[in-house]
């Protein structure tokens, strides 16, 4: 087919317009004028529908295109819609009035072969069926998680007996990425959280003249929970997301498959160093965050509450017992496992496209944060019961 024969005429003439006339009792003639192009403003199909439904019933439609100055796919689409509409209402459509090019394109468009299975039947699935498929899907995704946990455990056992293979350099690089490079953001957020705690506490405690207890409040809150939770959330957004993106990209690029065929276990080579470094760095970052939070609190204590820095310091030392620090460290260690697991899991589950990598990243962050909150609640309740 010669493409030049079907090129649309060009020319200007403003937006496309429609007008209707009845050439006989039951024949509707639609006249198109102006430029019917994608970029112009065009009438909508409902104008035609309204015309069809008003007046005496229409048996056939014909077109008049003498006033048509320009057209493109937008015009074709409009015509296709009219044709479909009329077929449904058992109205004859005469294409005679259409320009030659339009007619040929219409033939082409309506002659595209139907691909087997391409027509998606949209059917209403009953509630029980949906419930069933959802449960199966949930169960399967749980199975995947357990499988991943199992593989991770095996990789760690191999590490213990010295048979796991990864490059020490990778471990070193990730330690740097998730340790050193996270310090600025952890400092900022932790100091601000300490500061906020001190402010909020100060307002209440001032009423009793007990400002000095701000030190205990900030100290205990930071060491016991907030330091760990804040670093956990920061690391979920920062490092967990990057783990998922890195591994997900490798999955999308078939690199993981290539590793496997080269006899390298991605669990040992990719997942292990990442988990190890985050599990090592998270407690350290947690401690650092405690410290920064207490500094932030002290800033408020000294400047706003006019407390003596020495008093503040002593009060903090008195309040923050080793138990609090241990509980905080335990939180951090758990969060380290959670964030690195979620990041690597979502990365490994990634499918083969760039969009899937984006989803993996989002999913890693959401999984981490939800798990962190759930884990915190569980640990808090257990500590309560054990009276720690």
Interface ranges with another protein (CB under 8 A): 44-46, 49, 53, 78, 80-81, 83-85, 87-90, 109-115, 118-119, 122, 165, 249-250, 253-255, 257-258, 260-264
Nearby residues of 185 by Cβ (< 8 Å), 6 or more positions away: 234, 238
- Which strands make up the sheet holding 27-36, listed edge to edge? 17-24, 27-36, 60-71, 92-94
Q: Are strands 17-24 and 60-71 parallel, antiparallel or unpaired?
A: unpaired
Nearer to another protein, 163 or 206 (CB): 163
Nearer to another protein, 43 or 101 (CB): 43
Nearer to another protein, 264 or 379 (CB): 264
DSSP 22: E
List, as one string, the DSSP characters of 203-230: HHHHTTT-TTHHHHHHHHHIIIIIHHHH
Closest residue by Cα to residue 190 from 225, 215, 158: 225
Nearer to another protein, 122 or 306 (CB): 122
Q: What is the CA 290 to chain-centroid distance, rounded?
A: 31
CA atoms of 155 and 266, how far apart (whole Å): 10
Nearer to another protein, 76 or 294 (CB): 76
CB of 90 to another protein, least distance (A): 6
Nearer to another protein, 120 or 306 (CB): 120
Contact predicate 251/348, CB 8 Å: yes
Contact predicate 79/19, CB 8 Å: no
CB of 137 to another protein, least distance (A): 10
CB of 254 to another protein, least distance (A): 4
How many Å is the Cα radius of gyration of the chain? 34
* H or E element that contains 296: helix 272-303
CB of 61 to another protein, least distance (A): 15
Nearer to another protein, 261 or 303 (CB): 261
CB of 168 to another protein, least distance (A): 13
CB of 368 to another protein, least distance (A): 24
């Amino acid at each position: 087919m010669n493409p030049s024969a079907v090129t649309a005429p060009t020319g200007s003439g403003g937006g496309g317009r429609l007008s209707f006339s009845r050439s006989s009792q039951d024949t509707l003639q639609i006249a198109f004028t102006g430029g019917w192009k994608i970029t112009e403003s065009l009438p909508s199909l409902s104008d035609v529908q309204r015309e069809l439904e008003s007046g005496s019933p229409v048996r056939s439609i014909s077109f008049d295109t003498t006033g048509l100055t320009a057209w493109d796919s937008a015009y074709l689409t409009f015509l296709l819609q009219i044709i479909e509409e009329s077929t449904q209402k058992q109205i004859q459509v005469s294409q005679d009035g259409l320009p030659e090019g339009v007619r040929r394109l219409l033939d082409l468009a309506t002659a595209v072969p139907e691909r087997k299975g391409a027509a998606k039947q949209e059917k209403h699935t009953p509630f029980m069926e949906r419930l069933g498929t959802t449960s199966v899907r949930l169960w399967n995704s749980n199975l995947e998680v357990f499988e991943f946990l199992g593989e991770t455990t095996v990789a760690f056992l191999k590490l213990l007996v010295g048979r796991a293979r990864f490059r020490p350099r990778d471990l070193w690089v990730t330690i740097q990425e998730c340790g050193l490079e996270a310090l600025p953001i952890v400092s900022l957020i932790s100091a601000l959280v300490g500061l906020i705690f001190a402010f909020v506490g100060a307002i209440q405690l001032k009423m009793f003249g007990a400002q000095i207890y701000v030190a205990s409040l900030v100290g205990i809150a930071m060491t016991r929970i907030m330091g760990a939770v804040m670093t956990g959330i920061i690391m979920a957004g920062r490092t967990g997301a990057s783990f998922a993106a890195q591994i997900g990209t490798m999955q999308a690029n078939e690199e993981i498959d290539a590793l496997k065929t080269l006899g390298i276990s991605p669990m040992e080579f990719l997942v292990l160093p990442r988990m190890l470094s985050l599990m090592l760095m998270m407690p350290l970052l947690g401690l650092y965050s405690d410290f920064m939070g207490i500094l932030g609190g002290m800033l408020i204590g000294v400047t706003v509450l006019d407390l003596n820095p020495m008093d503040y310091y002593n009060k903090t030392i008195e309040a923050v017992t080793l138990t609090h620090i241990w509980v905080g460290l335990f939180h951090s260690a758990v969060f380290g496992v959670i964030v690195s697991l979620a990041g690597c899991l979502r990365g490994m589950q990634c499918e083969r496209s760039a969009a899937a990598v984006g989803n993996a990243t989002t999913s890693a962050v959401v999984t981490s944060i939800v798990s962190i909150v759930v884990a915190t609640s569980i640990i808090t309740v257990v500590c309560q019961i054990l009276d720690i």
